[in-house]
Amino acid sequence: MANGYTGKIARINLTTNEITTIDTAKYEEFGGGYGIGAAIFWDLAVAPGQWDLKDPYDPRHVLPIMAGPLAATGVPGAGRTSICGISPETFPTCEFFRGNFGGRFATMMKLAGWDGIVVEGKAERPVWINVINDQIKIESARELWGLDTWETQDRIVSMVGGRTRFGEEWQKIGDSYTTGIPQIVCIGPVGEAKSRLAALIQGSGVSARIGGYGAVFGAKNLKAISVTGTGTIEMADPKGMLEARLWQMGGGSLVTGSFAPAFTGSASCHPCLRADRRRNNYHGGETMCVDQFWLSDKGDAARDLASEALMRYGASGWAAHFVGLFVSDIPGAPEFFHKQVPVETGIGWYLRYLHEIGVLGPGKEIDSAPLPMDQWGELAFREAFLDAVSRRAGIGDALAEGCCRAAQKWGRLEKDMESGALRFPAWGATGHWTLPSVEWAYNYMLGAGDPSWHGLVTAVGAPRGGTLEESLQRLSKKTIPYTDDIFMFNYAWKGEEAWKTGIYSPHKAKEVAWSRHYASFWNESMAFCEMFLPSLETLTPEIEMKYYRAVTGKKDSFADTMRIGQKIWTLERAIRVMHGRSRKTEDFAPFMYKPGASGMTFWGGVPIYENGKWRSDEAPEMYLDRKGVDDFKTHYYALEGWDKENGWPTRKTLEEFGLKKVADVMAARGRLGS
C-alpha cells in the first residue's frame, strides 16, 4: 500500500523479545492513527478473551503508538502521535482511553518505515527500543533508568548518532544520509515509579499528558522508544497537497481553528506550527500552556524552572494540576480559594484545600511529610512534590496514585466528591473544561475523561458577523451529516426548553455525536491537532478533504469520513463495554448536578434559545439535572445505535459498520446490545 501509509506496523513483545510485523492494509478501513490503534487493541487485547482488561500494568496490556497517513507528508498540523490503551489515571475503574502528543515522533517513525509501533509484554529488566529504518533492537536501559527525560533523550541521541556534530554533518545510515536526529518518546522518574500522574515526554516539552500512559511504560520496564528514519512517504497528488497548503495560507497564515487570534510570531501555546521559539522559555517553543503555567505567579524564571522540572520528571501538567488556567468559585470553599478554584481539580489544589481545612500538614491526620506545605506556592514545593512522587516517599506514595485514589486512601472520597472539593466531572480524570460547554461535558462522560477537543467552543460563541441565528445557520451547514438543525447548538439548560430543544434533547445528541465522530477520524486518526482543525467558522470541511485526498488519493466524501469516525467511536464503545461500561456506570460526579458546576467560558459564551429568541450567554449558573442527563443518554444511545438499557452497541449497528466479528465476540460474552 502507499499514499500516506508505510504499509507496516511493528509489533514488539517485551516479554519474549519477539519483533513481528502487522500489515497496515489489514486495518486501513479504520483510517489510521488511533482508529487503527483501537482496532489492533481489540484484536490483540480484547478478542482473545485472556485478559479482563482491568489492570493497566498487566503484561498483556497492548499499547499501540500510531501515526496517521497524513504525517510526514508536509500536511501541516497532522503529525501527532496517537496512543491508546487502558488508562491508569481514570477512576474508579481503569478505562480504555486515548491520548496523543505533538512533536516529530510520528513523522520520524513513518520515515523509518512504520505506521505504528505496538508494544506488549513486560521486559525483565529496563529496556529501550531503538528503531533505525527497518532495524529494530530492544536495548538495555540499565544506564538510562533513573535519568530524567531530557538526560535520557540526550544519552540516546549520542548513542544513535555517534559522533555526528549537530548542525554540521549528515549522519550516514546505510546508503542514506540525514541531518535529523532521533525522535524519542520516553518516561522520567515519575513514570518509572508507575505513578498515575506520569506523562510520556517527547523533546523538551511535548507530552502525552492524558491517561497516565507514562506509568504503563514504567510497568513494562520500557524507558524510551527512539526512531530514526531516512525513508520516503508516497502521496497521490503532491501538487494538490502543496496547493491545499497555499489555499489555507491564503488568509495570510496557516493559523486556523479555535485559537485563530494566535498569529505568526505571537507567543502562542502550540508546540508545532504555531509555536514561536523566540519566546525562549523552552527549546523550540515547545510545551503547552498547561505545563508552562504549572507555577504561574512567581515570575518568568521560577515559572520556567517549574515547568522544566515537570517535563524532566515526566509528570502530566493536568494530572498534577496545581492552579487552574481557568478559575471559578465554589460555594463554601475556604477563603484562600475565593474566586481561585480551578475549573477542574488538580492534585496541588487538593493538597492546599486539605491543608487549609486543617486535616493535612506535618503531624496532622494526613501527614504531609516530606512536603514543605508552608512553601506551597513556591518553586521549592513543586520540586519537592515531584521528588516525593517519583520516590513514593511519605505522602508521595498516595499522591502518585492521583487525587481520587489518594482521597479514597484518606477516607475522604465521597465527602469531597459530594462537596465539589474534588472537581472531576467524570471518571476521575483531570481536565480543564466542562460547563457551560455541555458537549464537552457529555464527551467527558461518554469517553473516559477530558476530551480535550475545542472544535465547537469558538464556533458557537458570539457571532463575528451577522446575527447569532445566522451564524448558527452557517454552522449547521457544516456539521455533516447532521445538517440544518440549529437546535444542536442550543445550550438552554432550564425549564421546558432544555428538554424540547436544549441540552437534554435529541438535538444536543447530534452535536455530541458530531464532535465525537469528527474527532475520532480527523483529530485522532488523521492526527490533526485539535487546536488546528476543525475550523468551523472558515475552512472546514474543505481543507480537511483537500489534504486527505491529495495524500491518500481516496475518493471518500466528507460524510464518508464522518462515517468512519462513527465506526471508530463505535469500536471504542465496544471495547469499553467489554470491560464494564454501561448506562449505570456512565454518570457525572455529584457536583455537576449542583450550583457551582459551571466554570467559565470565552468567546462570548454559548447560544441559548428561549422564549423564541437566541442569545449568547456565559451561563455561569449552569448545572445539570439528573433526569435530564438520563434522558440525554436515551436520545444519544438511540442516535448511535446502542441499546437503551445498557448503552451497548447492537448487532445491527456493528454489522452496518462491518464489525460482525466484534458483534460475535460481544454476543459470546453477553455484552451485545439488544
Partner 1 sequence: MAESEKAAGKEKRVLRRQFLVGGGAALAAGALSVAVPQPSSAAECKPSYPSSTGYIVYDSRLCWGCQSCMFACSAVHYGNANPALSRIQIIRDAPSFTKYPLDIVMAVCRQCVTPLCVQNCPTGAAHVAAENGNVRVIDEEKCIGCRMCLQSCPQRPRRAVWNPSTQKSTKCDLCLDAPFWGRKGGPDGEPACVTICPSKALKLVHEAPPQEDVSGYDVNLVPPQPKTKRKPGTPAAPKA
Nearer CB in complex with partner 1: 277/615? 277
Polymer length in residues for the chain: 674
Output the CA torsion 407→410→416→421 (10° steps).
-60
Task: Write down the least CB distance from residue 267 to partner 1, Å.
Answer: 9
Decide if 313 contacts 188 (C-beta within 8 A). Answer: yes
Q: Do the Cβ atoms of 525 and 30 come closer than 8 Å? A: yes
User: In this complex, which beta carbon is closest to partner 1, that of residue 106 or of residue 395?
Assistant: 106
Q: Which is nearer to partner 1, 185 or 272 (CB)?
A: 272
Q: Choose between 170 and 336: whose C-beta lies nearer to partner 1.
A: 170
Q: Shortest approach of partner 1 to residue 438 CB, angstroms?
A: 35
Least Å distance, CB 220 to partner 1, is 26
d(CA 352, CA 340): 12
Alpha-carbon gap, residue 285 to 273, rounded angstroms: 10
Report CA-CA distances (Å) from 282 to 301, 383, 570: 11, 18, 39
Packed helices 33-41 and 558-578: angle between N→C axes, nearest 10 degrees: 30
DSSP result, 533-551 = S--TTTTTTHHHHHHHHHH
**Which amino acid makes up residue 473?**
Q
Q: Give the residue with the Cβ less far from partner 1, 163 or 613.
A: 163
Residues 258 and 265 sit within 8 Å (Cβ to Cβ): no
Of residues 283 and 660, the one with the C-beta less far from partner 1: 283
Q: Which three cell numbers stand for residue 598?
A: 459551571
Q: Which is nearer to partner 1, 177 or 336 (CB)?
A: 177
Alpha-carbon dihedral sign for residues 597, 601, 605, 606: negative
CB of 550: closest distance to partner 1 in angstroms?
A: 10
> Least CB distance from residue 535 to partner 1, whole Å?
15
**Least distance in angstroms from the C-beta of 323 to partner 1:** 23
Q: Give yes or no for a cis peptide into 76 (omega within 30° of 0).
A: no
Q: Are the C-beta atoms of 64 and 116 separated by less than 8 Å?
A: yes
Report whether the peptide linkage leading into residue 649 is cis, meaning its omega lies within 30 degrees of zero.
no
In the complex, the smallest distance separating the C-beta of residue 159 from partner 1, rounded to whole angstroms, is 13
Instruction: Give the separation between CA 202 and CA 103, rounded to whole angstroms.
Output: 7
The residue among 275 and 468 lying less far from partner 1, judged by its C-beta, is 275
Cβ proximity to partner 1: between 7 and 284 the closer is 284
Q: How far is the CB of 226 from partner 1 (least distance, A)?
A: 12
Q: How far is the CB of 158 from partner 1 (least distance, A)?
A: 8
Comparison of 253 and 340: residue with beta carbon closer to partner 1: 253
**In the complex, minimum distance from the CB of residue 304 to partner 1, in angstroms, rounded to a whole number:** 10
Rounded CA-CA distance 581/583 in Å is: 7
Smaller CB separation from partner 1, 20 or 280 = 280
Q: How far apart are CA 465 and CA 463, in angstroms?
A: 5
- Which residues contribute to the site for partner 1 (CB under 8 A)? 72-74, 76, 104, 111, 150, 154, 157, 161-172, 174-181, 183, 203-204, 230-235, 238-239, 241-243, 245-246, 249, 253-254, 264-265, 272-273, 275-280, 282-285
CB half-sphere exposure, 455, CA atoms < 13 A: 30
Nearest approach in angstroms of CB 294 to partner 1 is 17
**Least gap, CB of 324 to partner 1 (angstroms):** 25
Lookup result for grid cell 514561536: 276
- In degrees rounded to 5, what are phi and psi of residue 194? 55, 40
C-alpha dihedral (598, 600, 604, 610), degrees to nearest 10? 10
Closer residue to partner 1 (CB): 67 or 373? 67
Other CB atoms within a 10 A radius of the CB of residue 391 amount to: 15
Residue 650 backbone dihedrals phi, psi, to 5 degrees: -90, 165
Q: 128 forms bridges with which residues in the sheet?
A: 139, 224
Strands 200-202 and 183-186: antiparallel
